[in-house]
Amino acid sequence: MSSVFKEGLEDIVVSTSEICFIDGREGRLLYRGYDVDELVQHSSFEEVVYLLWNGTLPSRKDLEAHVKALNSTANRKLPPKLVTMLRQLPKKTTPMEVLRTGVSALAAFDPDAADNSREATTRKAIRLTAQMPTLVAAWERLRRGKTPVAPNPKLSLAGNFVYMLSGKKPTDLATKTFDVALILHADHEFNASTFAARVTAATLSDLHSAIVSGIGALKGPLHGGANEQVMRMVEQIKTPERADAWIRKALADKARIMGFGHRVYRVEDPRAKHLRRLASELGKQVGNTSYVKILDTVARVVTEEKKIYPNVDLYSGAAYASMGIPTDEFTPIFAMSRVAGWAAHVLEQHAHNRLIRPRAEYTGHARQQYVPIERR
């Protein structure tokens, strides 16, 4: 079987989907037909979750019920035995490893775990969307020898996460920034982690298994892990004055610059401008504008020299760092948002399913006879 194929499935269309549209040439991103620029301005992460799962914006009554379910302590809290399990993990375990382990373990406590009906999968999606921030925040406290902070049902998903991390009610700007970041990371068509989730769902496996597949794929530095690597680059550059020379040397060394380039966008990622604005506002609020100044210089040089543009991961970490969030929490934050998109794609895959099983162009040995070991 000889066939033309594209390494990495580049530009290969593998199925239809009604959830997310990306215009790679114009740099536009739509969730169920709504431009993220408008959703960032008018919506909330909770409303975007409803939109991704149901395909329509909710009525006031439906939104209130949806927010109540997402914010309820019953859905946000972790089973005590799971917290006991977390306490057994080595303190050096990274937050992404804890998220991968914790989501898998949550299936054991979920009454709907083996039920793939739309109703049960939606109930599980609400619980996971509500529990993942609690899981990430609990580990942040436990690994530093502190007691986890119980979720506050009066706070939004964004505000509650920042509260559970620090134990203090966040500022309105921090809450708004975090809510916008969650909106911007919620879905992105058939990106690597979403496709991993769909391949898993297409075997008729369950939601928790598909989300664990997504978490494993998102962890990689070419995908969701890039936001952490960008901050490590900023830390190496140290000051805005050093940025120009540092990035020119990195490019001369043929280094891959995290936060730049994209498989689909041929122009700047439409999410980057919002995250840059938030990082800039937060930096001013906390009196540290150096992160954005460093990144702006890096962006100017990389764009000029390589014609490669900022993606979603370039400025997100600068915003989170300005809120005092540790670097290795950045990718878990990406996952806390993307679980909404992953769940939407699992629901869509289960509704019109066909097993996803591509072929390989075989380039190995031709048929050969087995040789007994004494003759090898």
Give the orientation angle of helix 118-142 with respect to helix 95-106, to 10 degrees: 140
**Site for ligand SDX contains 311 (CB under 6 A):** yes
Positions 86 through 115 that interact with ligand SDX (CB under 6 A)? none
Q: How far is the CB of 217 from ligand SDX (least distance, A)?
A: 10
* Binding segment toward ligand SDX, per CB under 6 A, in 49-57, 109-117, 201-209, 305-313: 305-313
C-beta of 67 vs 186, nearer to ligand SDX: 186
State the amino acid at position 30 in one-letter form: L
In whole angstroms, what is the distance from residue 330 CA to residue 285 CA? 20
Using CB under 6 A, pick the residue from 78, 279, 312, 325 that binds ligand SDX.
312
- Give whichever of 36 and 142 is closer to ligand SDX, judged by the CB atom: 36
Q: Is 24 in the site for ligand SDX (CB under 6 A)?
A: no
Distance CA 84, CA 102 (A): 11
Q: Phi and psi at residue 260, in whole multiples of 5°?
A: -125, 150
Dig out the tokens for 189 from the structure: 């068509």
Residues 213 and 225: their CA atoms lie apart, in Å, by: 15
Count interface residues toward ligand SDX (CB under 6 A).
21
Bridge partner list, 28: 23
| Interior/surface letters 174-186, b for 16+ CB within 10 angstroms, e for the rest | bbbbbbbbbbbbb
Structure token digits, residue 333? 């934050």
Q: Nearer to ligand SDX by C-beta: 268 or 313?
A: 313
Query: Torsion angle of alpha carbons 72, 73, 74, 77, nearest 10°?
Result: 130
> Binding residue for ligand SDX (CB under 6 A) from 223, 248, 277, 293?
223
Residue number with the smallest Cβ distance to ligand SDX: 261
d(CA 270, CA 291): 20
Question: What track of x and - describes contact with ligand SDX for positions 260 through 299 (by CB under 6 A)?
Answer: xxxxx-----------------------------------
By CB under 6 A, is residue 308 in contact with ligand SDX? yes
Of the candidate spans 31-39, 107-115, 141-149, 251-259, the one that interacts with ligand SDX by CB under 6 A turns out to be 251-259
CA distance 274 to 87: 37
Check residue 259 for interaction with ligand SDX (CB under 6 A).
Answer: yes
What amino acid positions are annotated as catalytic residues? Answer: 262, 313
Choosing from 46, 47, 112, 313, the residue that interacts with ligand SDX (CB under 6 A) is 313
User: CA-CA distance, 209 to 293, in Å (whole number)?
Assistant: 41
Least distance in angstroms from the C-beta of 20 to ligand SDX:
9
CB of residue 305 vs ligand SDX: minimum separation in angstroms? 10
* Span 183-222, contacts to ligand SDX by CB under 6 A: 188, 191, 222
HSE-up of residue 218 (Cα within 13 Å, Cβ side): 35
Q: What backbone torsions phi and psi does residue 82 show, to the nearest 5 degrees?
A: -70, -40
Q: How far is the CB of 195 from ligand SDX (least distance, A)?
A: 9
Residues in contact with ligand SDX by CB under 6 A are 8, 188, 191, 222-224, 226, 256-264, 306, 308, 311-313
